[in-house]
Amino acid sequence: MSSVLYDEPGPRARRVTLYASVVAAVLVAVLLFLVYRRLDQNGQFSSARWSPLLNPGDADFSAVWRLLGGGIRSTLTAAVLSIVASLVVGTVLASLRLLAGRVSRLPVIGLIELLRGLPVLIMIYLVSRVLPEYGLDLANPLWYLVIGLTLYNSVVIAEIIRAGVASLPRGQGEAALAIGMSPSQSLRLVQLPQAFRVMLPSLISQLVVVLKDTSLGFIILYGETVRTANLIIQETKNPIQMYLVIGALFVLTNYALSRFAQYVERRLSRSSSAEVIDEPVTAMAGD
């Protein structure tokens, strides 16, 4: 395989690569063995630690998974509500920014930059402490989490949508205006529907970010997966096993979502006339 770093290998390069592969494989194996030995010496493979999570015959299995199942449902509820709300608010923000004049768009830009510069955790905590102070006690921490996540992700989605509209051929908007549509009609009926299509991969990637960020609900005592796991391990005393299992659930779900985003991106770049934004920029940053 040729790349910008190295040419198609000849016989000597192939030999060198083979030797290097053997050495590297041995090193990786040694590393894994050291981790395994460390875990084994400290009794981390004992069935007492694993079977509440993995063995359906264990006395605690059903109780543990009933709790974890509730946590996973709470995670999914918060994630779905947040992404839907972010999509709505984000579209409104993007439309405001695109339709407003040079001066009147400044407050919108200011708001977007402000919300983008704050950690999500601060947003969630701020919402949960400040809203009750001013008489808006929502009782269920779910809503504070959803509002906090929406504040952050709606501005990210607004930027994604704006980039999507900007990537459309100029003729689309001009044609809409030429047949007598108002700027807002052109945006709503011509540009936004295409922008959503172009930005679909980025929007799916943003779902990964939201799903990961729901775990910040622990700070306001929302019973999502991670907080539930923290409560369970106080009884079962198996933090390593527990975090590995719920970590694997997150990794598998998010990996599947990212692959789906890539698949959608490939489909779109085959059929679409507009330029597809190739890297889902926001999801790359690790927010």
Partner 1 sequence: MGVLIDNFALYRDGFLVSLRICLYAMVGSLLLGTLIASFRVSPVPPLRAFGAAWVTVFRNCPLTIVLFFFAFGIPEVGINASFFTFGVTGLVFYTSAFVCEAVRSGINAVPTGQAEAYRSIGLTFGQGMRFIVLPQALRTVVPPLGSVIIAMFKNSAIVGAVGVGGDLFSVGESLSSAQGNPVLPVLLGVALGYLAITLPSAAGLAVVERRVAIAR
Chain positions contacting partner 1, by CB under 8 A: 1-7, 9, 13, 17, 20-21, 24-25, 28, 38-39, 41-42, 44, 113-114, 116-122, 125-126, 129-130, 133, 208, 212-213, 215-216, 218-219, 226, 230, 233, 239-240, 243-244, 246-247, 250-251, 253-255, 258, 279, 281, 284-287
Q: Which is nearer to partner 1, 120 or 190 (CB)?
A: 120
Q: Please report how close the Cβ of residue 130 comes to partner 1 at its closest, in angstroms.
A: 5
Closer of 142 and 156 to partner 1 (Cβ): 156
Report whether 152 contacts 186 (CB < 8 A).
Answer: no
Q: What's the closest the beta carbon of residue 60 comes to partner 1, in angstroms? A: 18
Contact 274, 199 (CB under 8 A): no
Token pair in block for residue 195: 């922008």
Nearer to partner 1, 85 or 126 (CB): 126
Smallest Cα–Cα separation from 199: which of 34, 207, 44, 173? 207
Of the pair 174, 235, the CB lying nearest partner 1 is at 235
Residue with token string 């709470």: 74
In whole angstroms, how close is the CB of 149 to partner 1 at the nearest point?
Answer: 13
Nearer to partner 1, 38 or 73 (CB): 38
Q: How far is the CB of 55 from partner 1 (least distance, A)?
A: 20
φ/ψ of residue 251, rounded to 5: -60, -45
Nearer to partner 1 among residue 38 and residue 267 (C-beta): 38
Taking the C-alpha atoms of residue 157 and residue 206, their distance in angstroms, rounded to an integer, is: 8
The residue (of 111 and 177) whose beta carbon lies closer to partner 1 is 111
Amino acid identity of 132?
P
* Shortest distance in whole angstroms from residue 286 CB to partner 1: 4
Residues 6+ positions from 141 with CB-CB distance below 8 Å: 128, 217, 220, 221, 222
- Can you tell me which residue has the tokens 């460390």? 38
Whose tokens are 């400044």? That residue is 106
User: E-strand spans in 4-152?
Assistant: none
For the bound state, the minimum distance from the C-beta of residue 203 to partner 1, rounded and expressed in Å, comes to 17
Q: Which is nearer to partner 1, 127 or 199 (CB)?
A: 127
Q: How many CB atoms lie within 10 A of CB 49?
A: 18
Q: Residue 16 is encoded by which pair of tokens? A: 């060198």
C-alpha–C-alpha distance, residues 112 and 155, integer Å: 5
Q: Can you tell me the distance from the alpha carbon of 148 to that of 197, in angstroms, rounded to the nearest whole number?
A: 27
CB 188 within 8 A of CB 264: no
Q: How far is the CB of 21 from partner 1 (least distance, A)?
A: 5
Q: How far is the CB of 212 from partner 1 (least distance, A)?
A: 4
